Structure 1
């Protein structure tokens, strides 16, 4: 499955892999939300994921995929330079990081390895990792949230009442209040409106 908002990328990859043979692009999503929904609807061998999606940051999409499908390989395929996001993507669970300006041969090697559950690093990225010259990943406040705290944060950002959150997550309202307090503390926020702004700013999906 390809998660990329540029139709020409998906179409080009579909044609390229069709000509090579042995692979089929069985699903294409244009947004992070579409990608997350599609992940749950079928059995996929590999997800090719862009970072610059219109509704969500691709790294956040990656984290959510790995929460629900920890064994599903996700290969990040991005226009952003490896120095900017490679470490962040790998730490979030990506099986590899592939810049969009790489050669067709490298794309094929990466897809073959990733679909066989083998980590893929470009020669350039591997050398930087060995030399320790790659910048460390940039940690953000929401990276410290647990999966449950993240769910509560997203619901609060949509204006969902605590009682309704409790019903959806099968928790008591008191427990949800505790999660809300932890979210506020970890993000350094004061009000629910601050949570909404934070979610929108970091494209965490609503």
Structure 2
């Protein structure tokens, strides 16, 4: 393992990760990026052995960054390290090519294990994520109609769905995702139609019952 790029918008998180990785891995080249633009600049500038990526970034999200990395450098492993619970993003991002998904609340030993596994070319799937993947596969094999409603959403629709489900206003979502309020309204209309909802209250109730909220 020669080099790792850490992508997180909080310097304190990056510093903590650097200290942890140096302590456990010894000699390793570490790079940093605090948003999507810096991340892609670093990815294009150097051949990294691994990218450790947060989902919540200013501007374009880590979801977008993952897809762009896999498009430009498909063999570069990307490990997702996020504060979002596994139930919200793990399956979707692993299906998009992530080498693993691990919570920032995980024990230090598990984070190091995930880093080593991903850097070696493997996929790190813990018990929680494994269960989610198994449930998804089981539903897809049994009957397409049994798939969860949110699984039909595009990545952007899914992001907006989660933001709406957490009670955020369209204006706040637009500012967070750096898109127009009209774009948010368009995606909201599409996702509500796909999911068969007419009000935000129905959407929030569904998200709670599905275990998608913290």
Mapped contact 1:14–1:24 kept (Cα < 8 A)? no
Alignment pair present for 1:125 and 2:129:
yes
Structure 2 counterpart of 1:197, from 167, 180, 183: 180
The CA deviation at 1:131 is 4.1
C-alpha distance in 2, partners of 1:4/1:199?
Answer: 28
Structure 1 partner of 2:154:
140
Alignment pair present for 1:93 and 2:93:
no
What SS does the corresponding residue of 1:70 show, helix, strand or coil? Answer: coil
TM-score normalised according to structure 1 size: 0.65
Structure 1 partner of 2:62:
58
The CA deviation at 1:55 is 1.3
Moved over 6 A (4+): none
C-alpha distance in 2, partners of 1:63/1:128?
Answer: 21
The CA deviation at 1:50 is 0.4
C-alpha distance in 2, partners of 1:140/1:86?
Answer: 15
Q: Across the two proteins, how many residue pairs are aligned to each other?
A: 150
C-alpha distance in 2, partners of 1:97/1:54?
Answer: 20
What SS does the corresponding residue of 1:94 show, helix, strand or coil? Answer: coil
Structure 2 counterpart of 1:109, from 103, 113, 128: 113
Unaligned runs of 5+ in 2: 140-147, 158-178, 186-214
Mapped contact 1:17–1:23 kept (Cα < 8 A)? no
The CA deviation at 1:54 is 0.7
Mapped contact 1:49–1:74 kept (Cα < 8 A)? yes
More helix per residue: 2
C-alpha distance in 2, partners of 1:126/1:58?
Answer: 21
CA separation of 1:11/1:67 partners in 2, compared to 1, >3 Å: closer, same or farther? same
Bigger CA drift: 70-79 or 21-30? 21-30
The CA deviation at 1:140 is 1.8
Mapped contact 2:91–2:132 kept (Cα < 8 A)? no
C-alpha distance in 1, partners of 2:180/2:11?
Answer: 30
C-alpha distance in 1, partners of 2:53/2:77?
Answer: 10
TM-superposition CA deviations, 1:136-183 (whole Å, max 9, x none): 64632879xxxxxxxxxxxxxxxxxxxxxxxxxxxxxxxxxxxxxxxx
CA separation of 1:40/1:117 partners in 2, compared to 1, >3 Å: closer, same or farther? same
The CA deviation at 1:21 is 2.6
